[in-house]
Protein backbone atom coordinates (compact mmCIF):
# COMPACT_ATOMS: atom_id res chain seq x y z
CA UNK A 1 0.00 0.00 0.00
CA UNK A 2 2.83 2.35 0.87
CA UNK A 3 4.54 1.48 -2.43
CA UNK A 4 1.40 2.47 -4.40
CA UNK A 5 1.17 5.81 -2.57
CA UNK A 6 4.86 6.52 -3.18
CA UNK A 7 4.52 5.57 -6.87
CA UNK A 8 1.44 7.79 -7.21
CA UNK A 9 3.23 10.67 -5.47
CA UNK A 10 6.32 10.24 -7.71
CA UNK A 11 4.15 10.23 -10.86
CA UNK A 12 2.26 13.34 -9.75
CA UNK A 13 5.54 15.12 -9.00
CA UNK A 14 6.91 14.08 -12.40
CA UNK A 15 3.85 15.43 -14.20
CA UNK A 16 4.09 18.73 -12.35
CA UNK A 17 7.82 19.07 -13.04
CA UNK A 18 7.52 18.20 -16.74
CA UNK A 19 4.54 20.49 -17.17
CA UNK A 20 6.20 23.36 -15.32
CA UNK A 21 9.47 23.21 -17.24
CA UNK A 22 7.74 22.98 -20.61
CA UNK A 23 8.95 19.59 -21.80
CA UNK A 24 5.51 18.78 -23.10
CA UNK A 25 4.68 22.36 -24.09
CA UNK A 26 3.19 22.71 -27.55
CA UNK A 27 3.49 25.88 -29.57
CA UNK A 28 0.20 27.70 -30.01
CA UNK A 29 -1.16 27.58 -33.54
CA UNK A 30 -0.05 30.46 -35.78
CA UNK A 31 -2.45 33.38 -36.01
CA UNK A 32 -4.96 33.16 -38.84
CA UNK A 33 -4.01 35.02 -42.00
CA UNK A 34 -5.36 38.53 -42.36
CA UNK A 35 -8.94 38.56 -43.65
CA UNK A 36 -8.27 40.40 -46.94
CA UNK A 37 -11.98 41.22 -47.09
CA UNK A 38 -11.36 44.02 -49.59
CA UNK A 39 -9.81 41.56 -52.04
CA UNK A 40 -12.38 38.77 -52.14
CA UNK A 41 -12.54 37.61 -55.75
CA UNK A 42 -9.72 39.93 -56.82
CA UNK A 43 -6.74 38.63 -58.74
CA UNK A 44 -5.21 41.88 -59.98
CA UNK A 45 -4.45 45.30 -58.51
CA UNK A 46 -3.24 48.39 -60.32
CA UNK A 47 -1.15 50.80 -58.26
CA UNK A 48 -0.96 54.52 -59.00
CA UNK A 49 1.36 56.78 -56.98
CA UNK A 50 1.60 60.57 -57.32
CA UNK A 51 3.55 63.18 -55.33
CA UNK A 52 1.67 66.49 -55.06
CA UNK A 53 3.73 67.80 -52.14
CA UNK A 54 5.65 71.05 -52.45
CA UNK A 55 9.07 69.36 -52.29
CA UNK A 56 8.60 66.17 -54.41
CA UNK A 57 11.15 64.13 -52.44
CA UNK A 58 9.51 60.69 -52.68
CA UNK A 59 10.46 58.62 -55.72
CA UNK A 60 6.95 57.60 -56.84
CA UNK A 61 8.12 54.82 -59.19
CA UNK A 62 10.35 53.23 -56.53
CA UNK A 63 7.47 53.37 -54.03
CA UNK A 64 5.11 51.83 -56.60
CA UNK A 65 7.59 48.99 -57.20
CA UNK A 66 7.88 48.39 -53.43
CA UNK A 67 4.07 48.18 -53.22
CA UNK A 68 3.98 45.76 -56.16
CA UNK A 69 6.50 43.50 -54.40
CA UNK A 70 4.39 43.54 -51.22
CA UNK A 71 1.09 42.74 -52.96
CA UNK A 72 2.73 39.97 -54.99
CA UNK A 73 4.47 38.40 -51.98
CA UNK A 74 3.43 34.81 -51.22
CA UNK A 75 3.13 35.76 -47.55
CA UNK A 76 -0.06 37.70 -48.39
CA UNK A 77 -1.91 34.35 -48.63
CA UNK A 78 -3.47 35.50 -51.91
CA UNK A 79 -0.79 37.21 -54.02
CA UNK A 80 -2.18 39.68 -56.53
CA UNK A 81 -0.89 40.30 -60.04
CA UNK A 82 -0.12 43.95 -60.70
CA UNK A 83 -0.70 45.12 -64.28
CA UNK A 84 0.73 48.53 -65.12
CA UNK A 85 -2.07 49.55 -67.46
CA UNK A 86 -5.64 48.68 -68.29
CA UNK A 87 -8.36 47.28 -66.10
CA UNK A 88 -7.68 45.54 -62.83
CA UNK A 89 -9.97 44.09 -60.17
CA UNK A 90 -8.77 46.74 -57.70
CA UNK A 91 -6.98 50.08 -58.06
CA UNK A 92 -4.90 51.52 -55.24
CA UNK A 93 -4.29 55.24 -55.64
CA UNK A 94 -1.75 57.01 -53.44
CA UNK A 95 -1.09 60.70 -53.31
CA UNK A 96 1.84 62.06 -51.30
CA UNK A 97 0.36 65.22 -49.79
CA UNK A 98 3.21 66.34 -47.54
CA UNK A 99 6.73 65.21 -46.76
CA UNK A 100 9.46 66.28 -44.37
CA UNK A 101 12.90 65.04 -43.44
CA UNK A 102 15.24 66.58 -40.92
CA UNK A 103 18.11 65.74 -38.61
CA UNK A 104 16.96 65.13 -35.04
CA UNK A 105 20.30 64.45 -33.34
CA UNK A 106 23.96 64.49 -34.32
CA UNK A 107 26.45 61.92 -33.05
CA UNK A 108 29.92 63.43 -33.65
CA UNK A 109 31.75 60.53 -31.98
CA UNK A 110 30.62 58.15 -34.76
CA UNK A 111 30.27 60.80 -37.47
CA UNK A 112 26.56 60.06 -37.64
CA UNK A 113 23.15 61.60 -37.31
CA UNK A 114 19.61 60.46 -36.64
CA UNK A 115 16.96 61.73 -39.02
CA UNK A 116 13.17 61.72 -38.85
CA UNK A 117 11.21 61.41 -42.09
CA UNK A 118 7.47 61.94 -42.31
CA UNK A 119 4.97 61.79 -45.13
CA UNK A 120 1.22 62.25 -45.23
CA UNK A 121 -0.54 60.09 -47.79
CA UNK A 122 -4.05 60.15 -49.18
CA UNK A 123 -4.92 56.59 -50.19
CA UNK A 124 -7.98 55.00 -51.76
CA UNK A 125 -8.89 51.54 -53.02
CA UNK A 126 -11.57 51.12 -55.66
CA UNK A 127 -13.02 48.12 -57.45
CA UNK A 128 -13.26 47.58 -61.22
CA UNK A 129 -16.48 49.63 -61.42
CA UNK A 130 -14.90 52.58 -59.59
CA UNK A 131 -16.74 51.98 -56.31
CA UNK A 132 -14.74 53.20 -53.31
CA UNK A 133 -13.89 50.23 -51.06
CA UNK A 134 -11.48 51.89 -48.62
CA UNK A 135 -10.00 55.31 -48.10
CA UNK A 136 -7.67 57.10 -45.75
CA UNK A 137 -7.45 60.76 -46.78
CA UNK A 138 -4.65 61.63 -44.37
CA UNK A 139 -2.46 58.69 -43.36
CA UNK A 140 0.69 59.84 -41.52
CA UNK A 141 3.79 57.70 -41.93
CA UNK A 142 6.96 58.25 -39.93
CA UNK A 143 10.37 56.65 -40.42
CA UNK A 144 13.59 57.10 -38.42
CA UNK A 145 16.96 56.49 -40.03
CA UNK A 146 20.52 56.66 -38.73
CA UNK A 147 23.28 57.79 -41.10
CA UNK A 148 26.93 56.90 -40.41
CA UNK A 149 30.01 58.50 -41.89
CA UNK A 150 28.11 61.57 -43.01
CA UNK A 151 31.21 63.76 -43.45
CA UNK A 152 32.91 61.13 -45.61
CA UNK A 153 30.15 61.25 -48.22
CA UNK A 154 29.77 63.41 -51.25
CA UNK A 155 26.00 63.21 -50.94
CA UNK A 156 24.41 64.85 -47.92
CA UNK A 157 22.26 62.36 -45.98
CA UNK A 158 18.55 62.70 -46.36
CA UNK A 159 16.03 61.95 -49.09
CA UNK A 160 18.82 61.55 -51.65
CA UNK A 161 20.63 58.70 -49.84
CA UNK A 162 20.06 55.46 -51.86
CA UNK A 163 20.28 53.15 -48.83
CA UNK A 164 17.72 55.21 -46.98
CA UNK A 165 15.38 55.40 -49.98
CA UNK A 166 15.25 51.62 -50.41
CA UNK A 167 14.57 51.06 -46.71
CA UNK A 168 12.00 53.89 -46.57
CA UNK A 169 10.06 52.59 -49.59
CA UNK A 170 10.08 49.01 -48.31
CA UNK A 171 8.93 50.06 -44.81
CA UNK A 172 6.17 52.34 -46.10
CA UNK A 173 4.93 49.73 -48.59
CA UNK A 174 4.94 46.95 -46.01
CA UNK A 175 2.97 48.97 -43.44
CA UNK A 176 0.47 50.26 -45.97
CA UNK A 177 -0.21 46.87 -47.54
CA UNK A 178 -0.66 45.28 -44.12
CA UNK A 179 -3.02 48.12 -43.12
CA UNK A 180 -5.17 47.53 -46.20
CA UNK A 181 -5.07 43.74 -46.18
CA UNK A 182 -5.77 43.31 -42.48
CA UNK A 183 -8.72 45.67 -42.53
28 inside domain? no
25 inside domain? no
16 inside domain? no
CATH of the domain at 69: 3.30.160.150
Residue range of the domain that includes 94: 38-181
pLDDT of residue 86: 75
The least confident of 116-120, 123-127, 145-149 is 145-149
pLDDT of residue 143: 93
pTM > 0.85: yes or no: no
* Structure confidence by residue, pLDDT tens digits, 15-31: 656 555 555 555 676 66
CB neighbourhood size of 168 (10 A): 24
Q: Across residues 26-39, what is the average pLDDT?
A: 68
pLDDT of residue 150: 76
21 inside domain? no
19 inside domain? no
- 138 pLDDT higher than 80: yes
117 inside domain? yes
Count of domains for the chain: 1
- 180 pLDDT higher than 70: yes
What number of residues does the chain have?
Answer: 183
* Structure confidence by residue, pLDDT tens digits, 58-106: 999 999 999 999 988 877 666 788 887 778 999 999 999 999 999 899 8
pLDDT of residue 68: 92
pLDDT of residue 112: 87
31 inside domain? no
Amino acid sequence: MLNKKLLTLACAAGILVCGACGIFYREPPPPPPPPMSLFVGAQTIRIVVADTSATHQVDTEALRQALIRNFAAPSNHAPLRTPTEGNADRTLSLEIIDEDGHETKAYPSVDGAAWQFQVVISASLTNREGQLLWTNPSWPFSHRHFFRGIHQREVIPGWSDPGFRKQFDADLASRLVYKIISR
